[in-house]
A and B are shown apart, each in its own frame.
Chain A
């Protein structure tokens, strides 16, 4: 039991990060595609489709960060200084987009400025999250219990590639969400926009997947050596299935299927990362159990998490249920 606790927690943190990525992913995606919808009216409908839920979605990011500090403090203490700049830029961007929800209603004259803030904030936040991920995959220089690399280590061709991939992925989640939640003109334009985004995302996933094994011998073994390759091979197969479902949904005018398939792409990419990382929390440097907080910390928080995380999922589900259905642009505001 004592040995398993860190792994249970690694699972919970991974779940929080995944929940964040898919939930705030479509929120951020709506901001990213703002330039394609220039009418104030369209933008009102778009932000209204996420207004009641965005702040809950972003709470998963706080759980990811706060949870990492609680149960893997050493990993938190090494990763955050290593990713100093992308994290700060992400935080500042999230500020701009978070307040834009409210501020754009508080003024007529300056609302286009907050719309711009909503776009740039969403875009930079997505890019920085992807860059941070790429930097982590590439590896972090550690000495003792500290980050020992330079201030620009995070910026590499690979991390920029993962940054763009996440950006495109969020944009796809955003337009497929709009395809689900809106009707008429906004929906049809979103569905049209989803096609090139899908192709671009699949191409980027392909490049990142082929590049990753060559960064680190462990990754290579995981993906290309028997017997792990047998299990790993399910990931690309399922990815192909999701890609097919996505395209089928888009070309056949489905409402829910494209969004669900886009979520599937994210879940599978995330699973692929997990396969590469395990049993490390910082690849090649720090293992899950070595980063874990003392058992008393893990146990204390797990007691609560075991009850609270399912409860949170229940009432979050209820909140989504309350605001279910298509947004009616005529009645969307008063």
Chain B
């Protein structure tokens, strides 16, 4: 049975890709933002410079909206393994499940438990306990990232298990399962990507307000902080990305072949295909623009290194090449643009024009969403490159599916698409509204001396209420 000509398997894959892409945007942004908030609050407590408190309050509201969207889109993920991928859950659940269980127990509860205090509780618990709560939320997001990349990495480079007669993966060595070969690289790459996502978003907001008012102290601070991140973290990220690629070449060479658009094996030095259109049917990359030997130089760090092509694998064990080929180029391209912004900012800083360089500010505004796009592109590269497996080399995607019919998956997919566009479309609109607010509020609510409230729990002013006043009738 099909739905609009699509099989249940492809519909379930589209559904997973769709829901997790939306979901991943929010944590990618909130991981970095949580740490940023902790830094801002710490500087405020250390220096008692009001600008940092204002920035904390400013980004706190944005964080709250992002976090809420991350929570609700995340609940969907924890059930989707069962609705559409029940065979995967039955077989790989004994390994993936406990890792996600630890994520819930060590991270989700921690974040949720202290988020209320971090957002609304400064006056109730005092500065010290509030700072601890903010730091715990930031720590929670990082713990969460650790467990989920461990689980995801295990699906790419499974280790430490055996398989019983029912095809169930039996955990044999948890140390090997968690610290599987790709985990350290994937985890570092992902967390740095999250920091860069936040850095470029913060940089864009700072630049936007500098374009309106160069003297705005808060805008200057956030822009400067973001540009330090861009200048320092981007080169590290490129270095880590290279290591991650070498790790992939060792454990998933077919993925590398797809990313590089290589169908033929190159015994003596593979070219770097800059552009082209991989064609899996014809087994060739059309319109290829190549630089000889450079592919081997990058992947093997020697000009004549051997690089395997997709033809080394039977057709039913190859990933589709077009998607990873394109998304990989988008990610790398954005990475070098980020590096460019970072270097430009260093130059402007050295010349003393960091807050005056209109073109740098415009470029930074344009790059505001670059982190999110790069994160998604990178993830598509690695996940499509894992195909046709869910657990690499052991469990096929086609054998992981629930006994669901195509119309059921199709109907739920359409539901998710409609709901996500309405809800998260509105959410992104509100986020942009919040980011458009000037970072200098007309009143500093946290400073007015007053009685300790029973409930000071409004997450910030609404956009069409510039005074941040009350919402009564």
B-contacting residues of A (Cβ < 8 Å)?
A: 39-41, 44, 48-49, 51-53, 55-56, 58-59, 61-63, 65-71, 73-74, 76-81, 84-85, 87-88, 91-92, 94-96, 98-99, 101-103, 105-110, 145-148, 151, 293-294, 296-297, 300-301, 304-305, 308-309, 312, 315-316, 318-319, 322-323, 325-328, 331-334
Q: Is the CB of A52 within 8 A of B119?
A: yes
- The answer, yes or no, to whether B281 is at the interface (CB within 8 Å) is no
Q: Which residues of B contact A (CB under 8 A)?
A: 64-65, 67-69, 71-76, 78-79, 81-83, 86-87, 89-91, 93-98, 100-106, 108-110, 112-117, 119-121, 124-125, 164, 166, 168, 170-172, 174, 402-405, 408, 412, 415-416, 419-420, 423, 426-427, 430, 433-434, 445, 451, 453-465, 468-473
**B403 and A56 contacting across the interface, CB-CB below 8 Å:** no
| Residue contact A323 to B124, C-beta cutoff 8 Å | yes
Q: Across the interface, which residues of B come within 8 angstroms of A59, CB to CB?
A: 104, 108-109, 112
Whether A331 pairs with B98 at a CB distance below 8 angstroms is no
CA distance A110 to B425 in the complex (A): 14
Contact assessment for B473 and A327 in the assembled complex, using a CB-CB cutoff below 8 Å: no
Q: A102-B459, A103-B426, A145-B90 are in contact. Are A67 and B419 (CB under 8 A)?
A: no
CB distance from B284 to the nearest CB of A (A): 41
> Residues of B contacting A319 with CB < 8 Å?
113-114, 116-117
Cβ–Cβ contact B83 & A106, under 8 A: no
Is B471 touching A66 in the complex (CB atoms < 8 A)? no
Q: Which residue from A61, A98, A297 sits with its C-beta under 8 Å from B68? A: A98
A180 to chain B, nearest CB (A): 13
Q: What chain A residues lie within 8 Å of B65 (beta carbons)?
A: 102-103, 106
* CB within 8 Å for A41 and B79 given contacts A51-B457, A88-B415: no
Which among A52, A71, A334 has the greatest number of chain B C-beta atoms within 10 A? Answer: A334
Known contacts A70-B93, A81-B404, A326-B454; is A55 also within 8 Å of B83 by CB? no
Of all chain B residues, which has the CB nearest A42? B473
Q: How far is the CA of A308 from the CA of B108 in the complex (A)?
A: 12
Chain A residue at minimum C-beta to C-beta distance from B177: A300
Q: Are B473 and A91 in contact (CB under 8 A)?
A: no
Known contacts A40-B473, A52-B457, A106-B434; A305/B105 CB under 8 A: yes
Nearest to B172 among chain A residues (CB) is A296
Determine the chain B residues whose CB is within 8 A of the CB of A58 once the complex forms: 71, 75, 112
Instruction: Report the bound CA distance from A88 to B19 in whole Å.
Output: 12
Distance in Å: Cβ of B200 to nearest Cβ of chain A: 23
Can you sample 25 A-B contacts with CB below 8 Å?
A39-B473, A44-B458, A48-B458, A55-B116, A66-B103, A66-B104, A67-B97, A69-B97, A69-B100, A70-B98, A73-B91, A76-B93, A78-B86, A81-B403, A87-B82, A145-B90, A147-B86, A294-B171, A296-B174, A300-B171, A304-B106, A305-B101, A323-B455, A331-B453, A332-B457
